Amino acid sequence: MRWVDDNSLLIWEQLREHLYLALIPMVLGLLISVPLGYVATRYSWLANPLVALGGVLYSLPSIALFIVLPALIGTKVLSAANIIIALTIYAVSLLIRNVIDGLRSVPEEVLQAAVSVGYGTLRRVMTIDLPIAVPVIFAGLRVVTVANISMVSVGAIIGIGGLGELFTLGFQQDFLTPIVVGVVLSLALALLADVALVGLQRVLTPWARVNTPKEA
């Protein structure tokens, strides 16, 4: 516990970095996969190749991606951008399937009704399609968030890894406490982020929690 008190500033700093490195790619992933997913539902021949590509990208080992990215896109080897871009790629590759499934979950008669009463395309997508797709998209978002939080630690290999840096510290000094602190805080962060997303989803979808239909 003594170590924790002495290093509280470091721990706090790494926790903040960890959260930042995990959440920015989640938001970017969402911003990229929603329009991409919409295009894939408009041009349905695109959907399967996109989902397949997502699967391939997700199977790339993260360490390899962190190290290869600077060579590919010219970022500095020790830049946080590498982590953010890599995790955004993972986020998009997971989310794209959920966005497509979510948009496809909007019943055909609802779409038809929306068009027929006079919604323009953008307004329809923003106020009808996406809100109805929220439960399915959020299912993916929760997976992405937890996966990102765990994957950030791998970045410690290249020196930017939030709480993961506590692991390297512990291994280098052959000292268990920082590792335990890192593990516990990562878990807590993942749990909290998940709870926050569940809460947000409940606020966004009051309609999804109503009772079953009554016959009258």
Partner 1 sequence: MIEFESVTKQYPDGTVAVDTLSLRIPSNEITVFVGPSGCGKTTSLRMINRTIERTSGRISIDGEDINAGDPVTLRRGIGYVIQHAGLFPHKTVVDNVATVPKLLGWDKRKTRATAMELLERVGLDPKLAERYPAQLSGGQQQRVGVARALAADPKIMLMDEPFSAVDPVVRHQLQEELLRLQRDIGKTIVFVTHDIDEAIKLGDNVAVLRVGGKLAQFAPPAELLAKPADEFVEGFIGQDRGYRALTFVTAENLPLGPVPADLAIGADGKPAGWRKDGDTLPVGAVFQRGDSLRAAMDSVLTSPIGQGVCVDEAGKPVGVIDYTGLTGVLRP
Q: Which positions lie near partner 1, rule CB under 8 A?
A: 107, 109-110, 112-120, 123, 128, 131-132, 205-208, 210-216
- By beta-carbon proximity to partner 1, the closer residue of 7 and 201 is 201
- By beta-carbon proximity to partner 1, the closer residue of 59 and 116 is 116
Paired tokens of 42: 């408009």
Least distance to partner 1 from the beta carbon of 124, Å? 10
Whether 150 contacts 190, CB under 8 Å: yes
- By beta-carbon proximity to partner 1, the closer residue of 121 and 173 is 121
Q: Which of 158, 157, 149 is CA-nearest to residue 185?
A: 149
User: How many residues does the structure list for the chain?
Assistant: 216
94-128 residues labelled b (16+ CB within 10 A) or e (exposed): bbbbbbbbbbbebeeeebeebeeeebeeeebbeeb
Whether 34 contacts 101, CB under 8 Å: no
Least distance to partner 1 from the beta carbon of 137, Å? 13
Q: What is residue 129's DSSP assignment?
A: I
Least distance to partner 1 from the beta carbon of 166, Å? 43
Least distance to partner 1 from the beta carbon of 39, Å? 21
- By beta-carbon proximity to partner 1, the closer residue of 116 and 172 is 116
- By beta-carbon proximity to partner 1, the closer residue of 74 and 213 is 213
Least distance to partner 1 from the beta carbon of 198, Å? 18
Q: Among all chains, which residue has been given the structure tokens 């079953």?
A: 212
Give the relative orientation of helices 8-42 and 176-204 as an angle to the nearest 10 degrees: 40
